[in-house]
């Protein structure tokens, strides 16, 4: 590429030089000669700048693999692009003046109004998801399409209408604080335009999410379940050690990389709980909701281990542990009639202890999970280093796309969609006070 650029620039420069010489010999006016000299100077300057930029990128290529599997990208690689002089689009806020307009200020500092990168640095490839306030796109850098990202684009007017300003700010803040986690999808940057909020996230280029894998290959055998259970537990422990309750663990919020390793996404319900703080906000996905959340009791980070138990139960048995498939509200949830599944005794014991309605008898810490006999064969150092390969077991199974189809009720008791307790459901059914909902009540 550099050689091609040199050839092109040499031809262009040579042409200008020839014209300059010819102009001199033809006794052109002094003004004409001055213009030609300036053009020659500008071309040389642009060529040097282009060569320096390409050399910079090639140097980066030596440190990072430029293929779809490499998603852990330093944002400076395209921040460098913005160091070059260019026109700022109308949607950019990098020329904001003081005082900052309210529509910008209310989203600061989580969403910068003076970002070195903007949406104009990316090329949208396709839409990969739709959220409450906007869509999520698969994107790449315009000047280097080997790097793939997920970009969340949220409409400010919709956020304001739903009174969810603090919710989206908290999500961005929490996600950024957790981005160094081994099994956490990285949050690279967030900024705002006059009309939208933008967040650039790590894009997982694997199978999709855990739900898709389970749908095509489930139920998971114990060896496969053990690997995924270990990675999810490791991720939850990292989240909890950062004093955060995740509150929405489910298959759809776990995506897979090329080797089948997990990445936790979507921190919309995550809550910072420090110094023993507890909350009693009702939120999450109904079928995964812990009893203390549904009953409006104060709770802490331990509720995530209940959801963890439900998740493992579904992956292994193709059914929820409790008869809550048709509920549409947390007040309808039932936590009785639990039937012990027919599986290996150690796994039965793990389910029973994770899904005990009595929290005093329930497993609710990572230390308790690690010490359970079901994980006796797991080397947790290998888990952290991603040495366990879940796809090694998955590939031995026969793909069966219809086995866990949500529309095949004969083999699955799942609804077409999981009912979720969020601000929209409350607004529609309960006419709740949005301030009370979004500003968790702490004791």
Does the pLDDT value for residue 273 go beyond 70?
yes
Compute the CA torsion angle 339, 342, 344, 345 (nearest 10 deg).
40
Does the pLDDT value for residue 60 go beyond 60?
no
> Domain 76-80+91-202 - what CATH class?
alpha beta
Does the pLDDT value for residue 55 go beyond 60?
no
Q: What per-residue confidence (pLDDT) applies to 41?
A: 64
Does the pLDDT value for residue 175 go beyond 80?
yes
Q: Compute the average pLDDT of residues 141-162.
A: 94
**Alpha-carbon gap, residue 297 to 80, rounded angstroms:** 50
Place of tokens 């690689």: 77
Q: What per-residue confidence (pLDDT) applies to 324?
A: 86
Q: Compute the average pLDDT of residues 174-195.
A: 96
pLDDT tens, position by position, 295-325: 999 999 999 999 999 999 999 999 999 988 8
Place of tokens 């009785």: 336
Structure tokens at 326: 């048709």
Does the pLDDT value for residue 126 go beyond 60?
yes
| 95 annotated binding-site participant | no
Q: Compute the average pLDDT of residues 256-285.
A: 94
Element (H, E) at 352: helix 345-354
From 155-164, 216-225, 390-399, the region with the lowest mean pLDDT: 390-399
pLDDT tens, position by position, 353-402: 999 999 999 999 999 999 999 999 999 999 999 999 888 777 666 565 54
Q: What per-residue confidence (pLDDT) applies to 342?
A: 82
Q: What per-residue confidence (pLDDT) applies to 66?
A: 35
Structure tokens at 70: 């490499």
* DSSP 3-state of 261: coil
Which of the residues 209, 248, 257, 266 is marked catalytic?
248
Place of tokens 């940057």: 189
Judge whether 248 counts as a catalytic residue.
Answer: yes
3.40.50.300, 3.10.450.50, 1.10.510.10, 1.20.1740.10: which CATH number matches 210-438? 1.10.510.10
Element (H, E) at 246: none
């Amino acid at each position: 590429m550099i050689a091609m650029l040199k050839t092109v620039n040499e031809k262009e420069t040579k042409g200008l030089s020839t014209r300059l010489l010819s102009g001199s010999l033809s006794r052109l006016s002094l003004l004409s000669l001055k213009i030609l000299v300036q053009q020659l100077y500008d071309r040389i300057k642009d060529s040097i700048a282009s060569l320096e930029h390409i050399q910079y990128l090639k140097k980066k290529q030596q440190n990072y693999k430029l293929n779809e599997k490499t998603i852990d990208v330093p944002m400076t690689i395209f921040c460098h692009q913005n160091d070059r002089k260019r026109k700022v689009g109308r949607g950019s806020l990098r020329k904001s003046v003081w005082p900052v307009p309210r529509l910008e200020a209310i989203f600061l500092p989580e969403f910068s109004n003076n970002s070195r990168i903007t949406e104009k640095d990316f090329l949208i490839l396709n839409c990969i998801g739709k959220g409450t306030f906007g869509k999520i796109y698969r994107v790449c850098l315009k000047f280097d399409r080997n790097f793939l990202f997920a970009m969340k684009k949220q409409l400010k007017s919709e956020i304001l209408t739903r009174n969810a300003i603090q919710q989206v700010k908290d999500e961005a803040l929490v996600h950024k604080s957790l981005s160094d986690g081994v099994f956490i999808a990285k949050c690279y940057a967030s900024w705002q335009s006059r009309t939208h909020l933008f967040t650039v996230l790590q894009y997982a280029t694997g199978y999709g999410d855990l739900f898709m894998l389970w749908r095509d290959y489930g139920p998971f055998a114990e060896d496969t379940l053990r690997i995924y259970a270990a990675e999810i537990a490791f991720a939850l422990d990292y989240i909890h050690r950062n004093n955060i309750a995740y509150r929405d663990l489910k298959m759809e919020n776990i995506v897979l990389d090329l080797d089948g390793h997990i990445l936790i996404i979507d921190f919309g319900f995550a809550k910072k709980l420090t110094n023993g703080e507890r909350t009693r906000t009702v939120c999450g996905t109904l079928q995964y909701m812990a009893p203390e959340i549904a009953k409006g009791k104060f709770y802490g980070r331990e509720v995530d281990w209940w959801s963890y138990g439900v998740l493992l139960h579904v992956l292994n048995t193709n059914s929820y542990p409790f008869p809550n498939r048709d509920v549409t509200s947390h007040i309808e949830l039932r936590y009785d009639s639990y039937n012990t599944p027919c599986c290996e005794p150690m796994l039965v014991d793990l389910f029973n202890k994770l899904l005990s309605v009595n929290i005093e008898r329930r497993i609710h810490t990572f230390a308790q999970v690690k010490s359970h006999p079901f994980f006796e064969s797991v080397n947790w150092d290998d888990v952290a280093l991603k040495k366990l390969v879940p796809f090694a077991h998955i590939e031995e199974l026969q793909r069966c796309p219809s086995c866990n189809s949500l529309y095949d009720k004969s083999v699955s008791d799942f609804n077409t969609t999981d009912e979720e307790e969020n601000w929209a459901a409350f607004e529609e059914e309960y006419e709740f006070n949005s301030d009370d909902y979004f500003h968790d009540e702490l004791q």
